[in-house]
Amino acid sequence: MECISVFDMLKIGVGPSSSHTLGPWRAAERWIKELKTANKFDKVETISVDLYGSLSLTGKGHATDYAVMLGLSGANPETIPTADIDKTVAAIKNTKTLLFNGEKSLVFNTETDIVFNRKFLPFHSNGMTFTAIINGRKSKSTFYSIGGGFVVKEERTNHKRNFEIKCTFPYPIDKGTELLQFCKNLNLPISQVVLENEKSIRSEEDIDSELQRIWDTMLECMYIGCHTEGNLPGGLNVRRRAYDIHQNLKGERPYNNPVEWIYSIRDTEVKFRQIIKWVSCFALAVNEVNAALGRVVTAPTNGSAGVIPAVLMYYLVIENHDGNFEDIKRFLLVAGEIGSIFKKGATISAAMGGCQAEIGVSSAMAAGALTELLGGTPEQVLVAAEIAMEHHLGLTCDPIGGLVQIPCIERNAMGAIKAINAAELALDTNPENVKVPLDKVVNTMWETAKDMHSKYKETSEGGLAVGVYLTDC
């Protein structure tokens, strides 16, 4: 059984894409590690990278070339100052030299050493092969970025299993029914069952400090997005909207940092229409930061990184003004577990399943997590997750210009609002009357993913990506 930690589902990184940016970045790191383990690193004479399928078709808009260069340079996506990214990439391009893992200077021509191949590799749409010349001979390694920053080397025979991961959790969970059984047997809410699993691999102190770091990153991301105006990079000239919306919503109480900002919003009288605007504003803010290659939390992907912070922020500033770290912790634990059920039973990769795998899954994660905080039973938590996904089934991925901007940024606002609605519906639902359990919708999503035409799976060859011309924007 695959064992996925909440910290696999929620990862700190930089935008704009988890599968096309974080994944290739991590793959480059893994390749370097492989070379070092095999004592080949010091003997490398030249390197090159081949990108395949979706990584090639939307790789330029999704900054895959940037990610590969940064990964090969040894930069850490969690800690690299985002302001340094453009400078580092420009230096590689201009000097035609790359400092391999920060240690070894190699000739590297971005025009010829990063190859965008239109062809797809058989296992997954996001394939990449790293090649090193060592003693005049080629040494190749192929990786797949399977969504949410996850990277695998070996093919999963049924497209669902990553056999590299061994599960050591005391309460291993593949499906919603298993999760509910553990909750019943242990008489614990979902967050506590997930916490027990996490405690089997790290101390609770470490869990708390990592979850706090994740929340701090989410909050800072919303804060930056709400306070940054102008147009996004990439050529579509998309105007940042979170800034304007925030200017119209914010109250009188002054603030100087993200935490004071929370108190200032709590002080503001918020009417019904404004609730929708606030939630949308939080979601837009995150994905504008993501589109500008800023720091975000992959949740479960970068393209859908705005949904979970927006819904959690909604809980803290609208639903419960006494909300604290314990609530944040429970929310993230539940969200992570629901995301892992989708990853195991279906996919969180838009290149495999379209946008239902990104925004649909993030909305389900947020809906379930909010339901637990609002007092729902474990059964109602899964009902909320099911409702949220049910109404994202079939959602395609068709980003204009291959950029994670249109429809991606707005789609996060929609996913967040649907999550809140799904939670409210679930709280008024008797789970015994539910016709579509979570596991059924997970399976349906996977079947829909397999039926979906490849032009709607992060290739920018269908939908809005061809219906709207760049000159229209």
Closest distance of CB 353 from ligand SF4, Å: 9
Site string for ligand SF4, 327-366 (x = CB under 6 A): -----------------------x----x--xx-------
Binding status of residue 408 toward ligand SF4 by CB under 6 A: yes
User: What span, in angstroms and rounded, lies between the C-alpha atoms of 222 and 317?
Assistant: 13
Considering the complex, state which of residue 327 and residue 358 has its C-beta at the smaller distance from ligand SF4. Answer: 358
CA 1 to chain centre: 23
Which residues have CB under 8 Å from 428's CB, separation 6+? none
Binder among 211, 219, 400, 404 for ligand SF4 (CB under 6 A): 404
Q: Please, what is the minimum distance in Å from the beta carbon of residue 304 to ligand SF4?
A: 6
Residue 316 Cβ, how far from ligand SF4 at the closest point, in Å? 24
* 21 lies in the site for ligand SF4, by CB under 6 A: no
Does residue 407 belong to the site contacting ligand SF4 (CB under 6 A)? Answer: yes
Give the strand pairing for 295-298 and 11-14.
antiparallel
CB atoms near residue 275 (< 10 Å): 16
Stretch that binds ligand SF4, among 42-50, 141-149, 184-192, 407-415 (CB under 6 A): 407-415
Q: Rank residues 390 and 410 by Cβ distance to ligand SF4 and give the closer one.
A: 410
Binding window for ligand SF4 (CB under 6 A); candidates: 27-35, 136-144, 292-300, 403-411? 403-411
Look up residue 311 and give its two tokens. Answer: 């819904």
Of 50, 174, 372, 458, the residue at the interface with ligand SF4 (CB under 6 A) is: 458
Counting Cα atoms < 13 Å in the Cβ hemisphere of 395 gives 26
Cβ of residue 402: shortest distance to ligand SF4, in angstroms? 9
**Pairwise CA distance, residues 292 & 405, whole Å:** 10
Q: Which CB atom, from 317 or from 395, has the smaller least distance to ligand SF4? A: 395
Give the nearest distance from C-beta 397 to ligand SF4 in angstroms: 3
84 Cβ neighbours under 8 A, 6+ residues apart: none
Min dist. Cβ of residue 342 to ligand SF4 (A): 14
Residues numbered 139 to 198 that lie near ligand SF4 (CB under 6 A) are none
Assess 304 for contact with ligand SF4 (CB under 6 A): yes
Residue closer to ligand SF4 (CB basis): 356 or 429: 356
Minimum CB distance to ligand SF4, residue 232 (Å): 14
Structure tokens at 402: 């291959």
Give the C-alpha distances (Å, rounded to integers) separating 47 from 67, 108, 178, 197, 431. 15, 7, 46, 41, 56
Comparing every residue's Cβ against ligand SF4, the nearest one is: 303
Q: How far is the CB of 460 from ligand SF4 (least distance, A)?
A: 9
- Between CA 407 and CA 456 the distance in angstroms is 13
Nearest partner of 297 among 279, 310, 315, judged by Cα: 310
360, 407 in Cβ contact below 8 A?
no
Amino acid at 152: V
List 294, 399, 401, 437, residue binding ligand SF4 (CB under 6 A)? 399
Q: Does 300 bind ligand SF4 (CB under 6 A)?
A: no
CB 331 within 8 A of CB 307: no
Residue 23 binding ligand SF4, by CB under 6 A: no
Q: Is 411 in the site for ligand SF4 (CB under 6 A)?
A: yes
Nearer to ligand SF4, 323 or 401 (CB): 401
Smallest Cα–Cα separation from 333: which of 181, 222, 193, 209? Answer: 193
Stretch that binds ligand SF4, among 41-49, 276-284, 382-390, 406-414 (CB under 6 A): 406-414
Work out whether 129 is an interface residue with ligand SF4 (CB under 6 A). no
Q: At its nearest, how many Å lie between ligand SF4 and the CB of residue 409?
A: 8
CB closer to ligand SF4, 127 vs 407: 407
Three-state SS letters, 261-328: HHHHHHHCCCCHHHHHHHHHHHHHHHHHHHHCCCEEEECCCCCCCCHHHHHHHHHHHHHCCCCCHHHH
Residues contacting 432, CB < 8 A, separation 6+: none
Find where tokens 């419960």 sit.
320
- Taking the complex as a whole, the smallest distance from the CB of residue 222 to ligand SF4 amounts, in Å, to 17
Q: Find the part of the chain contacting ligand SF4 (CB under 6 A) among 119-127, 140-148, 360-368, 401-409.
A: 401-409
Interhelix angle 378-390/438-451, rounded to 10 degrees, is: 20
Q: Residue 121: which H helix or E strand, with range?
A: none
Q: How far apart are CA 459 and CA 473, in angstroms?
A: 19
CB of 174 to ligand SF4, least distance (A): 24
Which CB, 401 or 437, lies closer to ligand SF4? 401
Torsion 85-86-89-95 (CA) sign? negative
Q: Is the peptide bond before 407 cis (omega within 30 degrees of 0)?
A: yes
Question: Applying CB under 6 A, which residues contact ligand SF4?
Answer: 303-304, 350, 355, 358-359, 397, 399, 404, 407-408, 411, 458
